[in-house]
Structure 1
Amino acid sequence: MDGETQEFFVSFVYAANAAEERKMLWEDLKAHQDSPMFRNKPWMVVGDFNEILKLEEHSLHEVHSVVMPGMRDFQELVQYCSLADMPFHGPLYTWCNKRDNGLICKKLDRVLVNAAWTTEYQQSYSVFEAGGCSDHLRCRIKIGADTIRPHKPFKFTNAVIHDTRFLPLVKEVWGATEPLYPSTSALYRFSKKLKALKPHLKQFSKDSLGDLVKKAKEAYTQLCKAQMATL
Structure 2
Amino acid sequence: MASNHSSYPHSIIDVAGMDDMNTVLQEAEIFEAQAKGSPFTWWNNQEDNPISKKIDHSLINQAWANSFPDSFAEYLEPDQSDHTPCLFRTPSVRSRIRKPFKFYHHIIDNPEFLVTVGNAWHPESIVGTAQFKLMRSMKCLKKDLRGLNKRHYSGISERVKQQGAKVEVLQRALLTSPDRATAVEEHRERDTLNKLFTAEQKFYRQRSRVRWAYVGDRNTTFYHKTVNQRVTQNHIHYLRDEDNNFFGATSAIKEHSAAYFQ
TM-score by length of 2: 0.34
| Higher strand residue share | 1
| Higher helix residue share | 2
Q: Which has the larger radius of gyration?
A: 2
Q: Which has the higher contact order (CA 8 A, sep 6+)?
A: 1
